[in-house]
């Protein structure tokens, strides 16, 4: 078990991200090898686990459900559900979580489990596929000493069971530091020590850094950090890195690495079939060449060695490309699991359902109190009244986008972690989010629009009336998701959404007739889903009553619409929904609003 340590800003998280293939910015010098071979994206997702510094959990699930949800997405679909349940139960016992297995996780502001339990649950998520290598980014951050010891004992137990552990840790206690076998120390992005974490480290730093003799009661981790931090402030980080690169410790590490890689290749060669041998020839030849390069570096060489460090020990940064063909389960299975574990649980959560339900019911009640029975009056004086009612019917669902905007923004850290873990594809997540909102809204909007349509005695087709409002709601949802996905944060997404909504409402043709708009604003009408939604409702209401006139023109002609186009305009609204959804998928798949 290796501790990755260093002062703040020394590159601990960057180093782990490079090893785990999760760095999304910069460039990499050198190569990373697992068992002597460069890892594929598939291998990194299936054979390694990564525990983030901050908890990324689904707050509405219990501890058991969280692990089972991850197992359903990350373990093979061919594995039986009973086998996955057994693996989850075993993992809960192993992590000491059996006592809170049925406890709901809760939100960060209202946790139903303790900080230590949440941290162990995060570790369990990484362990659900039995990874060979486990990376942990400051697993004791924010925990009290007792909880930190509890978490690190669990991690040490995993190492004892054969899992390779690499964890960054900041100012560990003497007890926690004593659990580590090896220490990797970084300073200013440079490697200044890699070796034993006990007496060997003490001797090295006293000889290299001129560190004082540790006193009885000193925390050795803090003693080492004190020595290198002071050297870094004095501008000696490069000298320490150079000293390590010239040291016998560095030479011994290289020799050990070469021996381990050769052992792996020999073991693979002995167990491989003739077909496997022919497939591995090129890769092994490259590995042999790399091993020869490493061996020739020596303590006085200046070449690159295969951990991503150059001659002076500077760490590189990788830019990894996301390979969409590295998922364990198909897209439809991922959607099924997301709907089963998250959507159904949301629908059973009062704080999720109540705001959405009340918004629709209260709005319908307001319209009924204002427009009761007015749908049969086609007089000139009542035309503005009916036009405003139909405008409000599309105003409410498009403005409801403000309510859906925070959804993706608040889940961004969870989405990034689950996608990096290979749980699902961006299109799967998008479909889940759309179904999550729109499935429940279908019967709710059907009921509220029926109440408004029949109580206000509106004319035309009720089916068209409902479908237009529902499709407009879907557009507002997809628009909010797109802006939340493409923006770096909610502080940017909310003003953008406000601007889009204002332009859409002002330029839809109700407040200012299309014919009266300046030519430079014609684009705002053509690209305006509200214009088409409101137009469909106006045609539905007035196409059978051509005697209704305004300004000497037929009502529909006055507002720039033609009778008989209602269903065609509905298709345009549906097309806008697919357009916003496609843009959201592009943003989820390719936008880089976060940097690691």
Sign of CA pseudo-dihedral 317, 323, 324, 329: negative
Task: Please give the average per-residue pLDDT across 105-123, as a whole number.
Answer: 82
In degrees, rounded to 5, the angle at the alpha carbon of residue 532 between the alpha carbons of residues 530 and 535 is: 105
pLDDT of residue 304: 32
Domain spans in the chain, listed from the N-terminal domain onward: 2-213+228-297, 353-590
> Facing residues of 196 across strands?
182
Would you say 244 and 208 are in contact if contact means Cβ atoms under 8 Å apart? yes
pLDDT of residue 161: 84
Task: Please give the average per-residue pLDDT across 499-507, as a whole number.
Answer: 90
Task: Please give the average per-residue pLDDT across 342-355, as a whole number.
Answer: 91
Would you say 556 and 405 are in contact if contact means Cβ atoms under 8 Å apart? no
Find tokens 């036009």 and name the residue.
387
Task: Please give the average per-residue pLDDT across 391-402, as a whole number.
Answer: 88
pLDDT of residue 472: 95
pLDDT of residue 346: 92
pLDDT of residue 297: 41
3-class DSSP state of 110: strand
Range from 129-138, 201-210, 294-303 carrying the lowest mean pLDDT: 294-303
Task: Please give the average per-residue pLDDT across 45-58, as a whole number.
Answer: 85
Please determine, for residue 108, whether its predicted confidence score (pLDDT) is greater than 70: no
Q: In percent, how much of the chain has pLDDT > 90? A: 33
Between strands 106-107 and 2-5, the pairing is unpaired
Tokens in use for 415?
């989405």
pLDDT of residue 344: 94
Tokens in use for 210?
């001129």
Range from 197-206, 363-372, 416-425, 526-535 carrying the lowest mean pLDDT: 197-206
Comparing C-alpha atoms, which of 140, 145, 165, 147 is closest to residue 155? Answer: 165
pLDDT of residue 370: 94
Comparing C-alpha atoms, which of 211, 248, 251 is closest to residue 229? Answer: 211
Superfamily name with CATH number, domain 2-213+228-297: P-loop containing nucleotide triphosphate hydrolases (3.40.50.300)
Alpha carbons within 13 A on the beta-carbon side of 513: 13
Between strands 553-554 and 133-137, the pairing is unpaired
For the chain, give the mean pLDDT: 83
pLDDT of residue 278: 44
Q: What is the rounded distance in angstroms from the CA atom of residue 393 to the CA atom of residue 395?
A: 6
Would you say 356 and 443 are in contact if contact means Cβ atoms under 8 Å apart? no
């Amino acid at each position: 078990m290796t501790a990755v340590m260093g002062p703040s800003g020394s590159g601990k998280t960057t180093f782990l991200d490079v090893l785990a293939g999760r760095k999304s910015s910069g460039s990499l010098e050198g190569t990373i090898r697992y068992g002597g071979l460069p890892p594929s994206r598939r291998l990194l997702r299936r054979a390694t686990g990564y525990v983030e510094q901050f908890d990324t959990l689904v707050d509405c699930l219990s501890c058991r459900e969280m692990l089972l949800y991850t197992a359903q997405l990350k373990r093979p679909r061919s594995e039986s559900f009973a086998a996955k349940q057994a693996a989850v139960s075993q993992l809960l016992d192993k992590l000491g979580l059996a006592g809170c297995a049925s406890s709901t996780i809760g939100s960060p502001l209202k946790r139903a489990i303790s900080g230590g339990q949440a941290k162990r649950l995060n570790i369990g998520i990484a362990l659900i596929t039995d990874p060979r290598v486990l990376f942990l980014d400051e697993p004791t951050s924010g925990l009290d000493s007792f909880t930190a010891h509890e978490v690190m004992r669990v991690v040490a137990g995993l190492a004892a069971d054969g899992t390779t552990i690499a964890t960054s840790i900041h100012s560990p206690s003497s007890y926690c530091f004593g659990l580590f076998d090896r220490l990797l120390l970084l300073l200013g992005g440079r490697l200044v020590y890699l070796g034993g974490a006990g007496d060997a480290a003490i001797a090295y730093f006293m000889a290299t850094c001129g560190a004082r003799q540790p006193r009885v009661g000193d925390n050795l981790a803090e003693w080492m950090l004190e020595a290198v931090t002071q050297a870094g402030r004095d501008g000696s980080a490069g000298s320490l890195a150079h000293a390590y690169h010239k040291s016998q410790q560095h030479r011994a590490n290289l020799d050990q690495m070469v021996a381990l890689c050769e052992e792996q290749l020999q073991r693979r060669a002995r167990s491989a079939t003739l077909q496997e041998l022919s497939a591995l020839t090129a890769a092994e030849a490259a590995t042999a060449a790399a091993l020869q390069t490493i061996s020739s570096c020596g303590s006085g060489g200046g070449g690159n060695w295969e951990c991503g460090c150059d001659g002076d020990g500077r760490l590189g940064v990788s830019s990894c490309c996301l390979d969409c063909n590295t998922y364990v389960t198909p897209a439809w299975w991922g959607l099924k699991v997301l709907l089963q574990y998250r959507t159904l649980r949301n629908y059973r959560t009062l704080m999720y359902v109540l705001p959405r339900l009340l918004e629709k019911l209260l709005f319908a009640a307001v319209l009924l109190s204002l427009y009761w029975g007015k749908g049969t009056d086609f007089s000139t004086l009542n035309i503005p009244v009916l036009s405003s009612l139909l405008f409000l019917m599309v105003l409410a669902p498009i403005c409801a986008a403000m309510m859906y905007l925070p959804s993706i923004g608040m889940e961004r850290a969870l989405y990034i972690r689950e996608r990096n873990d290979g749980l699902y594809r961006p299109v799967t997540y998008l479909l889940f989010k759309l179904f999550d909102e729109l499935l429940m809204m279908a019967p709710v909007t059907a009921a509220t629009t029926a109440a408004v349509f029949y109580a206000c005695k509106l004319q035309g087709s009720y089916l068209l009336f409902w479908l237009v409002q529902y499709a407009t709601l879907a557009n507002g949802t997809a628009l909010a998701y797109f802006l939340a996905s493409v923006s770096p944060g909610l502080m940017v997404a909310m003003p953008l959404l406000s601007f889009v909504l204002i332009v859409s409402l002002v330029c839809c043709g109700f407040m200012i007739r299309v014919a009266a708009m300046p030519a430079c604003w014609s684009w705002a009408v053509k690209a305006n889903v509200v214009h088409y939604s409101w137009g469909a409702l106006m045609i539905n209401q007035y196409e059978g009553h051509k005697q209704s006139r305004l300004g000497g023109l037929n009502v529909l002609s006055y507002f720039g619409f033609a009778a008989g186009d209602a269903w065609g305009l509905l298709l345009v609204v549906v097309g806008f929904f697919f357009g916003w959804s496609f843009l959201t998928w592009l943003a989820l798949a390719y936008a880089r609003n976060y940097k690691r």
